Amino acid sequence: MMLIGKITTSGHSEVKEETGILTIGRTHTLAEGFRELVASHVGKDIAVDAMCYSNSFNRNKSPNSYRAIFIVIESPQAIAESLTLIEGLRADNLASIISAAIIGPGTFNKMKYYLAGADYCINLNSTPDENAEVLSEFFDSPEWQRKNSLFLDPTRMCLIGDYKRLDVSFAEMRILEAFSQTKNHILSHDEIANVMGLNINFYDPRALEKSISRLRGKIKGMYGTNAIQSIRGHGYRLIRGLISTT
């Protein structure tokens, strides 16, 4: 029996005070082993819980209350089940960082996890030291760090945060709005072109790339954050939790 359907909550959540980490695996042993790995990395200041796909969720703690959720995928056979799980988690939880933790050798299409709602994909299939380094990259990532919280003001066409105001163009505002309104914070090249009012059949990909690069540079120059990241062969992703419109 799958976890989906047992942990969803009514309405979308933009919870700002989520804490702790949850690891979910197909078996309790798998989930607990990954919990221990994460717990040893973050120390005692952050609570780390574990559960397997088939467990009923703790009714007293919503998945929305976790700052990060790791879905452990240990084999190609777990792909379909883990994708469904991520889609179910993301459907009602727009705040938590969802990470697909892929263990062992094998070919995995990371794009499928991003489109399902994951914010991060990590590969763990080497030595303990190398695995620790991979986790360090996650905890150093903009998703986890959340150094800035920016507000997009469409009326004044600007970003506001850290006592600074960054003016944006109408097209840039439309792009940021579109990113913020998607559950996975991902837009394809064609979707961005459409938002910009370009003809999606004839637009110049280099011009689109230049526009995104300019916007990314403006945000990084003002706030020091790599807000928009490239997804090879697909489009771009906005860091979750960085920009709000409400």
For the stretch 204-243, pLDDT in tens is: 888 899 999 999 999 999 998 889 989 888 999 998 888 8
Mean pLDDT (the chain) is 83
Say what percent of the chain tops pLDDT 90.
39
Q: Is 180 exposed, middle or buried (0-12, 13-18, 19+ CB in 10 A)?
A: middle
Residue 188 has a CB neighbour count (10 Å cut-off) of 15
**List of domains in the chain:** 21-145 (3.40.50.2300), 150-244 (1.10.10.10)
Q: Token pair of 235, please?
A: 């489009």
Does 3 score more than 80 pLDDT?
Answer: no
Of the listed ranges 65-69, 115-119, 147-151, 181-185, the least confidently predicted one is 147-151
